Amino acid sequence: MMIDLAGRSALVTGGSRGIGRAIALRLAAQGADVAFSYRGNEAAASSCTAEIEALGRRGLALQADVRDPASAAALVTTAIEAFGKLDILVNNAGITRDDLIMRMSLEEWREVLETNLSGAFFATKAVMRPMLRARYGRIVNMTSVAGIAGNAGQANYSSAKAGLIGLTKATAREVASRGITVNAVAPGFVVTELTETLPENIKQQILDATPLGRFATPEEIAAAVAFLVSEDAAYITGHVLTVDGGLVMQ
């Protein structure tokens, strides 16, 4: 299946590293111009922009903190000014602050909820009017199997990712009549800087629980996103696509 995103423009939050970077590069490879936000790593952002441009597309790195509504709105405004429109929004920005509930600080709770859930709400709110006027849009929220099954030591992260599923379905119902689809991708364990630091015994436990017996690559997650923002997925909305090797079967 050849996905054609020629003439489309996209915004990926948290797009300079890991899964977000893979998504930004995949959308560019399929023909879209791509803006992405990053928090502080200018070197990673610059190299991602260069890779997008090497694919023949326009790339735009925007420093922003999605926890701030004004910053999230400015992301959308700047992307539209640069590209003339915004067809695709991927809410990927996210952090972890893991601890058991009895030890989790209020700051660890709030920071994860504000970044992972409120940040997606702010960006979605900002893109609503332009997409409604255009009568077209593709929104993908990056949730997690932790938001479906829960994960010990991640009450904040699991709650935020579960909240993203609710946000996905509510938004999908609100905007479907205007030709806008809203879906979520729920990765399992993915080979990133974060999972590379896991102790070997924990990695083995995950592999034992995953029917396909391996972690995903960021590119495999990006492929699912590319499908959901394509015309081939025009009749899919309000759906949560698990890309987890069978770890969580519903």
| Residues with a known catalytic role | 157
Q: How far apart are CA 29 and CA 224, in angstroms?
A: 14
Q: What are residue 84's phi and psi, to 5 degrees?
A: 90, -15
Q: How far apart are CA 152 and CA 154, in angstroms?
A: 5
- Answer yes or no: are the C-beta atoms of 34 and 28 closer than 8 Å: yes
- Answer yes or no: are the C-beta atoms of 168 and 143 closer than 8 Å: yes
Burial class, 81, CB count within 10 angstroms (exposed 0-12 / middle 13-18 / buried 19+): exposed
